[in-house]
Amino acid sequence: MSGAFDPGLAAAQEALVRAMTAGGPMPEGFDTGAVRAAAHGILLKRAGEVARAWPALAAAYGTSWKAEFAAWADGRPTRGSFRDGWDFARAHREGLAGEAARELALAEISWAYDGGSPPRPRRAALRRFPGGVAVLLRGRVRILGSPRR
């Protein structure tokens, strides 16, 4: 085994990863069905990781969470479970209620995130959510309105 760098192999590996994780075209010489099955498994794993970062969001979807998230994430490269969950929640904001809406409001009050650059902490903010308001001032979050259930 020589250990020499093979640019052809590196390009094929990169294409395979892109096909499996970011909706890239299928590279030649690979079993399409096997690659698609592996890609679906990766999407389900991402859904589990996002559920750990965003438990109320995942709970709001119940047993359909993994399928809903996988459908949304298919073709989108991961940006980490926190950002993936935030992007999913923003895309589905109108349908969020209860604890899921509250979870998104708390993330948005605590972090500034434009959907592109990494989130950064906020100093002060105010966010409404169904049944209440979250206020961030001097690093402390206060919830006004309906109590947490």
Asked whether the predicted pLDDT for residue 135 surpasses 80, the reply is: yes
Asked whether the predicted pLDDT for residue 138 surpasses 70, the reply is: yes
When comparing pLDDT for 107 and 34, which is higher? 107
CA distances from 12 to 30, 66, 98 (A): 10, 29, 46
CA distances from 123 to 3, 108, 109, 116, 138 (A): 51, 12, 9, 20, 6
Asked whether the predicted pLDDT for residue 10 surpasses 60, the reply is: yes
pLDDT value of residue 101: 94
pLDDT value of residue 20: 77
- What is this structure's pTM? 0.78
